Structure 1
Amino acid sequence: MKENEIDRILADLVAGEDISAEERQILESWKEASGGISRFGREIQEIASSGAKLHGRRKSACVFEQVEQIVRKQRRVRFVRHFSVAAGIALCLGLTAYFMLFPGRQTNESVQVVATSIIPGGARAELVLPRGEVVRLDTAAKVVLTADSVTPRVISDGNTLIYDAGEKGAQVEYHTIRVPRGGEYNLQLADGTKVYLNAGSSLRYPVRFTGKRREVTLSGEGYFEVAKDSTQPFVVRAGDVDVRVLGTAFNVNAYPEKETVATTLVEGRVQVNYKTGQQVIQPGMQLVYDKQNGKVDVSVVDTEVYTSWKDGYYYFKREALENIMDVLVRWYDLTVFYQNQDLKRLEFGGRLKRYDDINYLLKKMEETRDVEFVIKGNTITVKRKTD
């Protein structure tokens, strides 16, 4: 069982959402093995009761900090870690179900919607071949390309494009997979490396790897699970940054419009090369390269915040509204306007299922009484909420 699987199920349960029979069985098995969660439920409810007397951002800070104290205090007990993570997700400001779980104060306010048809993204992409041909990819399993002397057999299986290893030869073709805004797609390269591509991203790669290293070029965001091969290092080129690995799992965020390139390491070890130098980072660390001034910042992070998108949800932790909306713009294919620039700096935290209705998400953010959203078509206007 994956550690964050329990976190996600508990977060859904705390948020008052329905869970499947299979998830309920997983939860019951975990409770039997862990000794139950009741006493932590009482602690969390006490926090909620005290927080109900506060308002807006002061309440969010209070609730978040108290939950964090429980996490630190109980860190030594394994099953507390699971519940603490889920509780922290479920009780921090904005995207959470705090009001659903403890309805001490209800609100009749709702997201203003005018003829909206906003839907989440889905599995769609384009495969661009060397001579400019474009093959549209969808979830129907099919053979995209048959094998020949240059190109191995390529199939699209569900939401994943898979390359056979193929025969080694002197000539190598390069393909490009393009994922539009509102899309996602996965890729298994000829060496077995798995790549998860987020909305608005593209990857250029050889149909098979030859020479001294395996090299691909990324624009946008991708999560890589690299097949180990000590004789042939794997290199991701992302603008001014090269990430060199032997076999590991990591995320690279390198959208052209952003001022930074961020590499987040989940497991293994990577060396990040940039214009002014290079650094090796360890699991749980993130290196952020500033494209404007060449400065580098390395820090320890909660990797789930930066990789949860590939597992079907977003996890925001005290994140600026502008950064959250940038993520949603690519996934839901939106246009966003801000009535006041200072609204961009409002901080939110919580967990959002990647395929949820956006109205549910925005309503949860509106419950802070700091902001409101007006939706018209695929355009969202962000306004200061007035009492």
Structure 2
Amino acid sequence: MKITPQIENLYSRYSSNEITEAELNQLLDYFNVVDRADLHALIESELFETDEQYEANTNLQKHLSNIHHVISASIDAVEKPRTARLQPALKSLLKIAATILVILSIGYLGYTYLWKQADILPGRSLATLKMSNGQEINLDTLANKSITTTYGIQITKSSGDRIVYTRVSAVADTNSYLQTITTPLGGKYKITLADGTQVVLNSGSTLTFPIGFNQAERRVSLTGEAYFEVSKDAEHPFIVSAGRERITVLGTKFNISSYPDDDFISTALLEGKVNCLDVKTNANLILHPGEAALIQNNQLSKSAVDVSNMAAWQQGFFAFENEELAVIMKRLSRWYQLNVDYTSIPEKRIYARIAMQENLATVLDMLSTTSGIKFKIEGRRVTVMK
């Protein structure tokens, strides 16, 4: 016997303690013939009306508390006079119904859904656009359409997770009009700049850029992490300012990570050639494909690396190659919006390649299988077990 709108309505009325005796008899009849999976689905439909994982535990507690309240009320009714709200016969039926639900559901909910509560969902396409006039637009809620045309540039939301800037007419000075796109923790977004440069902005990052490029240099600034495929234009160098580092390119593919809470800035080159400058020390070096620059401890250095791993996130993968566990947990914290207890993390390096669309529990299980390390999840707090 499948769930029907009538059954859902009866269960909702039962849950809120508004059900009549006749209605409760119908619900009890359903309990007698329902498949357990259908009963679980019915309970979850009432418990979890939103997709917000953090509300699950609260809703569960409220629901089980209500069942407990109904049972207590039924027991109390044995010794108390009849009330106008609930007749003794109805209270007895409520006691039966509550008992059935407790027996059939509490083990399922207490284990299965609390595990789902810990099984935090991955990040997704989320970003906010701040226009040059100060207007802010939530891009993830915006349907695919032209947002506006201003200063000769058309701004369009397309493909669900990309914003595109297209020149439609010539304007004297578009470099003065800055746009800012910010991704929250757990967010990622794609951008096509007016010169055709493709950018993928990682979680917890901000990219500021002119609405159009019509000067000698194409300048943008980055906080956080982004992958760039720069449109080739030999006469107009593309310059990225990221913290104390400045990257100058003509046309290339590279990844920059410059989070304020990291003690380093890294740049990995996949294609082309770039010049890396540490504006604090004036040290600079040239990167070739397969090399990465690192600014750390007031030093600028470069090394040969597997740069595809460093940029794998923009293709939807965590790629860890002999990576420190503390660094891995910081990357996971940004994507899954976690509070990580770094004091408990051992000095261990891990090799792993994991899809970023996996839920947190799956990711941690893979890391555990690879390393033998155990993790404890409490809400959004993750502790590495020693």
Query: Shorter-chain TM-score: what band?
Result: 0.5 to 0.7
Deviation at 1:346, TM superposition (A): 1.3
Structure 1 residues 39-63: Cα deviation after superposition (integer angstroms, max 9, x where no partner): xxxxxxxxxxxxxxxxxxxxxxxxx
Structure 1 residue runs of 4 or more that deviate by more than 4 Å after TM superposition: none
Q: What is the aligned counterpart of 1:329 among 314, 333, 337?
A: 333
Q: Which residue number corresponds to residue 166 of structure 2?
A: 164
Q: For the residues of structure 2 that align with 1:255 and 1:147, how far apart are their CA atoms?
A: 32
Q: What is the aligned counterpart of 1:375 among 352, 367, 377?
A: 377
Q: Which residue number corresponds to residue 289 of structure 2?
A: 283
Structure 1 residues 17-67: Cα deviation after superposition (integer angstroms, max 9, x where no partner): xxxxxxxxxxxxxxxxxxxxxxxxxxxxxxxxxxxxxxxxxxxxxxxxxxx
Deviation at 1:132, TM superposition (A): 2.1
For the Cα contact (< 8 Å) 1:180–1:200, is it kept in 2? yes
Query: Identity of aligned pairs, percent?
Result: 34
User: Which stretch of structure 1 is more off in the superposition, 275-284 or 300-309?
Assistant: 275-284
Deviation at 1:212, TM superposition (A): 0.6
Q: What is the aligned counterpart of 1:183 among 178, 181, 187?
A: 187
For the Cα contact (< 8 Å) 1:186–1:195, is it kept in 2? yes
For the Cα contact (< 8 Å) 1:113–1:374, is it kept in 2? no
What are the equivalent positions in structure 2 for 1:158-307 lying under 5 Å apart?
A: 158-172=160-174, 173-275=177-279, 276-290=282-296, 293-307=297-311
Q: Which residue number corresponds to residue 118 of structure 2?
A: 116
Letter in 2 for 1:134: E
Q: What is the TM-score when the length of structure 1 is the normalising length?
A: 0.66
Q: Secondary structure at the match of 2:118?
A: coil
Q: Which residue number corresponds to residue 350 of structure 1?
A: 352
Which stretches in structure 2 are left out of the alignment for 5+ residues? Answer: 1-113
Q: Which residue number corresponds to residue 26 of structure 2?
A: none
Q: For the residues of structure 2 that align with 1:282 and 1:369, how far apart are their CA atoms?
A: 33
Deviation at 1:330, TM superposition (A): 0.5
CA distance 1:369–1:169, change in 2 (3 Å): closer
Q: Which residue number corresponds to residue 75 of structure 1?
A: none
Q: What is the TM-score when the length of structure 2 is the normalising length?
A: 0.66
Deviation at 1:116, TM superposition (A): 1.9
Q: For the residues of structure 1 that align with 2:357 and 2:142, how far apart are their CA atoms?
A: 19
**Which has the greater radius of gyration?**
2
Q: Secondary structure at the match of 2:167?
A: coil
Aligned-pair RMSD on alpha carbons? 1.8
Deviation at 1:357, TM superposition (A): 1.7
Q: For the residues of structure 2 that align with 1:131 and 1:245, how far apart are their CA atoms?
A: 29
Which stretches in structure 1 are left out of the alignment for 5+ residues? Answer: 1-111
Q: Which residue number corresponds to residue 133 of structure 2?
A: 131
Q: For the residues of structure 2 that align with 1:119 and 1:207, how far apart are their CA atoms?
A: 34
Deviation at 1:167, TM superposition (A): 2.3
Q: For the residues of structure 2 that align with 1:299 and 1:289, how far apart are their CA atoms?
A: 12
Structure 1 residues 224-268: Cα deviation after superposition (integer angstroms, max 9, x where no partner): 000000110100110111100000100011111111111100000
